[in-house]
Amino acid sequence: MLDRNFQAKTPLLDAIKSYVNDYYAAFYTPGHKQGRGVSQKMRDLFGSQVFKADLTELENLDNLSTPEGVIKEAQELAAKTFGAEESWFLINGSTAGIIAAILATCGDGEKIILPRNVHKSAISGLILAGAIPIFVHPEYDSILDIAHSITPEGVANALKEHPDAKAVMMVYPTYYGVCGDVEKIANLAHQYNIPLLVDEAHGPHFAFHPDLPPAALSKGADLSVQSIHKVLSGLTQASILHVQGDRIDRDRISQTLQLLQSSSPSYLLLSSLDAARQQMALSGKELMTQTLQLAEIARKEISRIPKLSVLELYPSAGFVNLDRTRLTVIVSHLNLTGFATENRLAQQGVLAEFSAAKSVTFIISLGNTQTDIEKLVQSFQKLAQEHQGENSPANLAKQIDRQPVYFHKQPPKISPRQAFFSATETIPISCASSRICAEVICPYPPGIPVLMPGEVITPDALEYLLNMQAIGSEITGCVDATLKSLKVVKEEL
């Protein structure tokens, strides 16, 4: 039980407030001197007050890399609130936390077991650490074209085949709100005395309501990384890394974060973490109750619209729980792709989180209102009326009714690090088949790589990427986003 008086504190926010309220002759960074030198356009758009809080490591504001004062106190409060033994504030998003987790547990040439549908930040971690990925394919729903979680059986088989692995990583929840069996997977990892690392970027709210899935740490995870900005009230890029137990070297976490994070952190981001923590500690259950109620209204109303359905829980090894604040609407029976649907909803003033071939996903959070939900439902009603009986393009089914090719890929031929730092050349896509990829290529969001450094480029992968691009997906990570050319490892003569 959290002590409300204790959790009502906002040590970092209060320390910043003292600088905002008083006038100083400022001879320190940043150059705008608490907004006095900011351009008029910026001031007109954002006001002047916010710039007063854009500070640096001044007296009493502590230092993010080696906190001993108000940042340390704020992080300790966060650990208690989110159920961790120790927490670190992140100002470069969950990306920094995921990379730090890999660097802190895996060295050059050491193995890590992780999902093939992992976020591209994990691939960055593999490149920087030199770790060797042992990929486990997630459970896949071919009807909805949605990848779920890895299964305990898949992890058990990987551990049996690679008992020398240094860590297991899983995504919990997925971008769709799908939760795997984190408790069983944690137990499997612990049987080999290695940690379970959890990309919990989309689950920082789980600890605050019994009708939400359980937080990863509460089910045995050793480390989790949460994006406080994604579904709570932190500013964009504001995240937290949490650790419990003795399987993670905490000094190593601190050292890796010093490598990855700016030595001039944004105190606006840091203070937003302090404030968001206090908000959830004091009012989290109430806020999540309201959010769940709004989400249920949206789910029920949209489910009543002909030819539309929403993703619901149907228990399986890779789908043991669902975050019901995450709304995925299946639109393929309207003969529309998710990409086309997202564009048409945007024209009506409704902006989705991301789209896929057959669906569109929405994040319903503590910032949404009843008016938002009504507009969302009305927009879908209008869309459904406009597209009743419309025929799909002849090639649409061919383009989307197929399993993502990364489910069939062989292990990387060389390590991601070796491929990334090898001599490379850029060649026409027509010549790329059977060559070793040297870049991360993925439809975004959700940012799951179809090709990554070290993997052999296959005709299926190229066809999949081109088809996804044709139906509206944005291809990111590669130098040539038009996909006319690809960067590959240069072949020796």
Residue extents of the structural domains in the chain: 4-281, 284-396, 404-489
Determine whether 341 is exposed, middle or buried from the number of CB atoms within 10 Å of its CB (0-12, 13-18, 19+).
Answer: buried
Domain 4-281 sits in CATH 3.40.50.2000: no
Q: Looking at residue 394, what is its pLDDT?
A: 38
- How far apart are alpha carbons 242 and 207 in whole angstroms? 13
- Yes or no: say if 314 and 334 are a contact pair by the CB < 8 Å rule: no
User: 402: which 2 tokens?
Assistant: 């197929």
Residue 165 has pLDDT above 70, yes or no: yes
| Residue-wise burial string across 410-423, b where 16 or more C-beta atoms lie within 10 A, e elsewhere | eebebbbbbbbeee
Same fold, 4-281 and 404-489: no
Q: Looking at residue 317, what is its pLDDT?
A: 96
Examine residue 446 and say whether the peptide bond preceding it is cis (omega within 30 degrees of 0). yes
* Mean pLDDT, residues 71-81: 98
* Mean pLDDT, residues 236-253: 98
| Residue-wise burial string across 58-87, b where 16 or more C-beta atoms lie within 10 A, e elsewhere | eeebbebeebeebbbbbbebbbbbbbbebb
Tally of residues, the chain = 493
User: Is this structure's pTM higher than 0.85?
Assistant: yes
Closest CA to 336 of 350, 320, 355, 354: 355
**What distance lies between CA 72 and its chain's CA centroid?**
25
pLDDT grade, residue 446 (50/70/90)?
A: low
How many other CB atoms are there within 10 angstroms of residue 315's CB atom?
A: 9
Q: Looking at residue 74, what is its pLDDT?
A: 98
Q: Report the CATH fold assignment for 404-489.
A: Ornithine Decarboxylase; Chain A, domain 4 (3.90.100)
Give tens-digit pLDDT for 50-68. 999 999 999 999 999 999 9
Amino acid identity of residue 415, one-letter, is S
pLDDT grade, residue 389 (50/70/90)?
A: low
Query: What kind and span of H or E run contains 87?
Result: strand 86-90
Residue 263 has pLDDT above 80, yes or no: yes
- 3-state class percentages of the chain: helix first, strand second, coil last, to nearest 5: 40, 15, 45
Residue 219 DSSP label = G
Q: Looking at residue 402, what is its pLDDT?
A: 52
Of 492 and 262, the structure prediction assigns the larger pLDDT to 262
User: 219: which 2 tokens?
Assistant: 């089910």
pLDDT grade, residue 395 (50/70/90)?
A: very low
Examine residue 393 and say whether the peptide bond preceding it is cis (omega within 30 degrees of 0). no
User: 259: which 2 tokens?
Assistant: 């490598």
User: 313: which 2 tokens?
Assistant: 């829980």
CB proximity list for 236: less than 8 A, separation 6 or greater: 93, 229
Rg over CA atoms, the chain: 23
- Yes or no: say if 366 and 290 are a contact pair by the CB < 8 Å rule: yes
* Mean pLDDT, residues 285-302: 98
Q: Looking at residue 397, what is its pLDDT?
A: 42
- How far apart are alpha carbons 380 and 303 in whole angstroms? 10
Residue 69 DSSP label = S
Q: Which of 147-156, 328-337, 468-477 has the lowest mean pLDDT?
A: 468-477
- How far apart are alpha carbons 441 and 444 in whole angstroms? 9
Residue 120 has pLDDT above 50, yes or no: yes
Q: Which of 15-24, 78-87, 209-218, 287-296 has the lowest mean pLDDT?
A: 15-24
Q: Where are the beta strands (DSSP E) in 299-385?
A: 309-310, 321-322, 326-330, 354-355, 359-363
CB proximity list for 21: less than 8 A, separation 6 or greater: none
Closest CA to 372 of 351, 390, 358: 351
CA-based max dimension of the chain: 70
Helix, strand, or coil (residue 177) = coil
Residue 388 has pLDDT above 90, yes or no: no
- Yes or no: say if 289 and 296 are a contact pair by the CB < 8 Å rule: no
Superfamily (CATH H level) for 284-396: Aspartate Aminotransferase, domain 1 (3.90.1150.10)
CA angle 237, 81, 230 (to 5 degrees): 25
Give me the chain's average pLDDT, please. 92
Q: Looking at residue 23, what is its pLDDT?
A: 81
Q: Looking at residue 398, what is its pLDDT?
A: 45
- How far apart are alpha carbons 383 and 348 in whole angstroms? 10
Rounded alpha-carbon distances, angstroms, from residue 375 to 301, 378, 380, 487: 12, 5, 9, 44
Residue 472 has pLDDT above 60, yes or no: yes
* Mean pLDDT, residues 94-106: 98
User: 483: which 2 tokens?
Assistant: 């996909």
Rounded alpha-carbon distances, angstroms, from residue 309 to 39, 302, 322, 338, 453: 48, 7, 16, 13, 37
